[in-house]
Amino acid sequence: MVTRFPLLVWEHGTQSGEENDTVYRAVKAAIADGYRHIDTAMMYGNETEVGRGIRDGLKESGLKRSDIFVTTKLATIHARPSHVPKAFEDSLAKMDIEYIDLYMMHWPVAMNPATGQLVPLKPDGSRDIDEELDGKFELTWGAMEKLLDTGKVKNIGVANFAIPNLERLLKTAKVIPAVNQVELHRKYSVHALKACANLIYRYYSLLATKQVG
């Protein structure tokens, strides 16, 4: 179970399609500068570059894999339980590292996996939801729990879970999420979130750019 995180965290939460070499150099420089937690996601589309930066950053800094903490996240298009194992293996293969320290469900949302897009949208710009599975994140979590048996992931967690969804998940979860990564700003009560479960919280988006699910 996660008991603490490295103090310095490098997170590149974007879907802007930045040049591959920019991401690679940024990760490598972050490790050289003392960052010990690297956070990415399938939805960011940069796991390959992040992994390359990790490998070369460790080599050039004389560090071991165990010296850093690596997080990546399950994309909403892979929320179907049958998709979870392959999605995880794909992320691990792209990053080309021995294991993942923390694998998170990125959102409590299921999106249409048939479009081939990381963030599927309808012609009107609205989200293309997987109507069959949306709202059934407990099933996704059950598939994630089984990943722990592979030995390729140390911890599993969730992101963007508001209190009602987190309470729902905890009623059926066999493994309590190690982490809930949420926004931190005036709209959301940190104290209420922390009271909901005995788990670690990580925060992002101080300017409230998104909606917690």
210 DSSP β-pair partners = none
Q: Are 75 and 87 in contact (CB under 8 A)?
A: yes
- Rounded Cα distance between 73 and 200, Å, is 16
Q: Which are the catalytic amino acids? A: 44
Instruction: Output the six-digit token pair for 48.
Output: 């390959």
- Rounded Cα distance between 170 and 115, Å, is 31
User: Which residue type sits at 102?
Assistant: L
Task: Match 């570059």 to its residue by tokens.
Answer: 49
User: What angle (nearest 5°) sits at the alpha carbon of residue 24, between those of residues 17 and 157?
Assistant: 75
